[in-house]
Chains A and B, each alone.
Chain A
Amino acid sequence: MNVDLYEKIWMWAAAGIIVVFLASIAFTTFGQAFTPPSHVEMIDPETVRTDPEFSQPGVTIHEDGSATVVMQAFLFAYLPNEVHVPRARPVTFRVTSPDVIHGFQIVGTNGNTMVVPGYVSQFTTTFNRAGEYLIVCNEYCGLGHHNMFARLIVEDMGGAR
């Protein structure tokens, strides 16, 4: 097959760009340990409201200053709808839904996960800027979808205790 010289150069350049894209994905994945939330843990959606962990949602601050936030996402709110977490410490979110699929997006950050009934979504992130953040549902869940939000307050809670 005859390929025009310029087109040949273009094709090599295109392949080069793709290799650069893949290399940068590999760098963020393996070099910076960034992976999208891919936690695999199942829970019966009908027991979420009686589950020992999810029936008592809220923030737990650990000894080392890190925090775990347990939340329910449901039609059309989050529980709790305001959480306070420490600045500059790892914060692990654990969220699940007793009804339909919801989203969980911390606006202005890359904190973003689907919340799927039957599954526990979990990811860990660190907030370096103190202040108020907005958590919104970004997956259509019904007529109140646009009313589904929560507040996240990041504040200095002192160093490791």
Chain B
Amino acid sequence: MIPSRRLALANIWVAISAFAIAAAMAVMQALSRADLDLPWRTAKMYYLSVTAHGVLMAIVFTTFFIMGLGYVVTERSFDRAITMKKFAWGSFWVALFGTLCAAWAIFWGKASVLYTFYPPLKAHPLFYIAVALIVIGSWGWCWVIIHTYLTWKRANLDARTPLAVHGYLATIIVWILATIGVAVEVMVMLIPWSLGIVDKVDPIMARILFWWFGHPLVYFWLLPAYVVWYTLAPKIAGGKLFSDPLARLVFVLFILLSTPVGFHHQFMDPGVPAGWKLFHTFNTMWILFPSFITAFTVIASFEVAGRMKGAKGWFDWLEELPWGNPAFSSVALAMLMFAVGGFGGAINASFSMNAMIHNTAWVQGHFHTTVGTAVALTFMGISYHLVPKLLGRTLQMSLLARIQPYLWFGGMLLFSVANHQTGLAGMPRRIYQFEYGGSEIADQWIAGTGISALGGVFLFVSSLCFVAVMFGTLLAGKREEQPAIEFATPLEQPGTKARILDRMGLWVVVAAVLILAAYAIPIINHLSAETFGSRGLSPF
């Protein structure tokens, strides 16, 4: 039924393995930050593990999971195999080879530059080459899905694009537009510089290109989670999708609004004029809109599920939902946490408020509610649903699976609230210690880091549950015919309404125009000004 299930599973296993290593890094950091004296605790180890955690979670776990899930929903939606299967395997090996190169550079202490790798911090050349290989591998995956879609489209000219594929095409468009920035940064600037072919790089130009990529990156993570929320979760809850056209509209809005917003990560940067930062702020705020729609549509779909099971009152439909099914509870909890993250994000992106929280612990508090819960918990939850079907084996240790989303949610609540609070109290992010010469101000952060460490322990236990269930199912699951993967049907079929939402070519053009409007003038101005490059240092 999923002809390329081996390919999909290969991607998912890489993702889960990266997740497991990164989770171990995370718990060490959480304990270290609470100033617990672990025997192996050194500054070098700490910054190495922050780099490893960031790269493995934010790049490797997400990208490989997204690619695996993409193959599954594409083949299931079209009811046919992907085209170019050999090329797809080739792309997988390229991305995996890149991942192994990055892992070597990081774990051998040659690339403690964190996952943002801002020059003039200089890593081993292999680190940048690895980043390029992962991106190139992911582009191969993009092309396979696009080619499969176009092949299907030629044979089904009048059919609507299945919603899950529509969402994935949006994901791919966002990813391609985003990775142009990082590809130019890495291939044109950083690889030649790290190899010694050019002497100097301009750190602000590198940051502009990085954040061209860095913000839409979060929608590359989020949109596949939205595909799960819209097309799989309502079915798992036992209901129907509340509105198909609005879901399509949401994906289109993300194509348009994801990229022309990067300067809201550079509010505190010198060398970037305030006017352009303000322009990006206005674009950023509108990204809240499609997520507001999503909150309504998905929760309404869950209400439909509750009512189909007989609920009549205002809130009793909540009781009818399958809270014991981790595939459902993880999505519901992910959405709840995302509500917090969304409003926090609006604060981060506020031109004037950002100065209070920029680069403080607040930031890690924020993105662990978004990518760390909205996205990661959704991916874990849907793994419980999909991996047994792909393997043809029954889920093992289902009790662990059942409690895992709640452990994650509780742990993240502690971790995130504590980090938001210490961030507001001024604690910087990514610091090994906070002695600061015996400062009384810094002393006040210790309670928060203790709570955050406790949260970290909960999260680690939750991670162990997830990894144990997954590998247990792979190794010991009973071979048994599994029910097919089913997408939610909408309350009302889209028919021929709002067909324009399916015209991805048009939306790519509009998105490109918006990116030009946001970036062309500031980049041209920056390149034509006299700037001084930096030679680079590796103080790690």
A127 at the interface (CB under 8 A from B): no
Q: Is A105 an interface residue (CB 8 A)?
A: yes
> Judging by beta carbons under 8 Å apart, are A146 and B432 in contact?
yes
A1 to chain B, nearest CB (A): 4
Known: A35-B274, A105-B359. A10 touches B498 (CB 8 A): no
| B539 and A75 form a contact (CB under 8 A) | yes
Q: Please encode chain B, from 477 to 519, with 1 for each CB lying within 8 Å of some chain A CB and 0 for all others.
A: 0000000000000001000011000000000000000000000
Asked if B270 is at the interface of the complex by the 8 Å CB criterion, the answer is yes
Q: Is the CB of A116 within 8 A of B121?
A: no
Q: Does A42 contact B (CB under 8 A)?
A: yes
State whether B246 touches A118 (Cβ < 8 A).
Answer: no
- Contacting B273 at CB < 8 Å: which of A38, A118, A133? A38
Contacts of A34 in B (CB 8 A): 352
Whether B532 pairs with A18 at a CB distance below 8 angstroms is no
B439-481 toward A: CB 8 Å interface, digit per residue (1/0)?
1011000000000000000000000000000000000000000
In the complex the two chains form, is B356's CB within 8 Å of A114's CB? no
> Does A137 count as interface, using CB distance less than 8 angstroms?
yes
Binds A, one of B59-67, B288-296, B323-331: B288-296
Contacts of B286 in A (CB 8 A): 18
**Contact status B270-A145, CB under 8 Å:** no
A113→B270 contact, CB < 8 A: yes
Q: When the two chains form their complex, are residues B436 and A134 in contact, meaning their CB atoms are under 8 A apart?
A: yes
Partner of B289, one of A3, A14, A36, A112: A14
Interface contact B243-A4, CB-CB below 8 Å: yes
What is the distance, in angstroms, from B224's C-beta to the closest C-beta of chain A? 23
Give the Cβ gap from B35 to chain A, nearest Cβ, in Å.
11
Q: Which residues on the A side are within 8 Å of B425 (C-beta)?
A: 107-108
In the assembled complex, the CB of B130 is this many whole angstroms from the nearest CB of chain A, namely: 20
Which residue of the partner chain, among B269, B300, B432, contacts A145 with CB atoms under 8 Å?
A: B432
From B249, B300, B437, B539, A149 is in contact (CB under 8 Å) with B437
Of A3, A22, A99, A134, the contact of B439 (CB 8 Å cutoff): A134
Cβ of A120 under 8 Å from chain B: yes
Q: Is B402 an interface residue (CB 8 A)?
A: no
Q: Beta-carbon contacts of B411-448 to A below 8 Å, as 1s and 0s?
A: 00000000000000110111111111101011000000
Given contacts A108-B441, A138-B360, A141-B539, contact A7 B296 (CB under 8 A): yes
Query: Is the Cβ of A105 less than 8 Å from the Cβ of B120?
Result: no
Residue of A1, A10, A11, A144 touching B539 (CB-CB under 8 A): A144
Known: A10-B296, A112-B355, A144-B539. A134 touches B441 (CB 8 A): yes
CB closest residue in chain B, given A32: B352
Q: Determine whether the beta carbon of B436 is less than 8 Å from that of A112.
A: no
Given the known inter-chain contacts A110-B356, A118-B204, A134-B441, please indicate yes or no for A18 contacting B270, CB distance below 8 A.
no
Q: A2 to B492, Cβ gap below 8 A? A: yes
Stretch of B148-156, B186-194, B277-285 contacting A (4+ beta carbons < 8 Å): B277-285
With A99-B120, A134-B426 as contacts: A36 and B354 at CB distance below 8 Å: yes
Q: Are B442 and A37 in contact (CB under 8 A)?
A: no
Binary interface profile of A, 27-41, with partner B (CB < 8 Å = 1, else 0)? 011001011111111
Number of contacting residues on B, CB 8 A? 78
A143–B354 Cα distance when bound, in Å, is 26
Cβ < 8 Å to A, chain B residues 242-286: 242-243, 245-246, 249, 266-274, 277-278, 281-282, 285-286
Q: Which of B269, B441, B534 contacts A45 (CB 8 A)?
A: B534
- B361 to chain A: closest residue by CB: A138
User: Are B537 and A100 closer than 8 Å at their CB atoms?
Assistant: yes
Which residues on the B side are within 8 Å of A39 (C-beta)? 270-271
Is the CB of B310 closer than 8 A to any CB of chain A?
no
Q: Is the pair A136, B270 in contact by a Cβ cutoff of 8 Å?
A: no
Q: In the complex, what residues of B have CB within 8 A of residue A110's CB? A: 355-356
Q: Does A86 contact B (CB under 8 A)?
A: no
In the complex, A44 has a CB within 8 A of chain B: yes
Residue B158, interface by CB 8 Å = no
Bound complex: CA A129 to CA B200 (Å): 43
Determine if A139 is an interface residue (Cβ-Cβ < 8 Å): yes
Tell me the bound Cα distance from A118 to B531 in angstroms. 7
Q: Does A159 contact B (CB under 8 A)?
A: no
Judge whether B336 is part of the interface by a CB distance below 8 angstroms. no
Cβ-defined contact, A36 with B270, below 8 A? no
Nearest CB in chain B: distance from A84 CB, A: 17
B399 on the A face (CB < 8 A): no
Q: Which residues of B lie under 8 Å from residue A122 when comparing CB positions?
A: 270
A/B interface sample: 13 pairs, CB < 8 A: A14-B289, A29-B351, A29-B352, A37-B268, A38-B272, A40-B272, A116-B207, A117-B120, A140-B430, A142-B47, A146-B433, A147-B435, A151-B437
Which residues of B pack against A, CB within 8 Å?
43-44, 47, 50, 112, 114, 118, 120-121, 202-204, 207, 242-243, 245-246, 249, 266-274, 277-278, 281-282, 285-286, 288-289, 292-293, 296-297, 300, 346, 350-352, 354-356, 358-360, 425-426, 428-437, 439, 441-442, 492, 497-498, 529-535, 537, 539-540
Q: Given A14-B293, A42-B271, 16 other A-B contacts at CB below 8 A? A: A4-B242, A14-B288, A15-B289, A22-B285, A35-B352, A45-B532, A99-B534, A105-B360, A112-B358, A116-B270, A134-B442, A139-B118, A140-B47, A140-B121, A143-B47, A149-B439
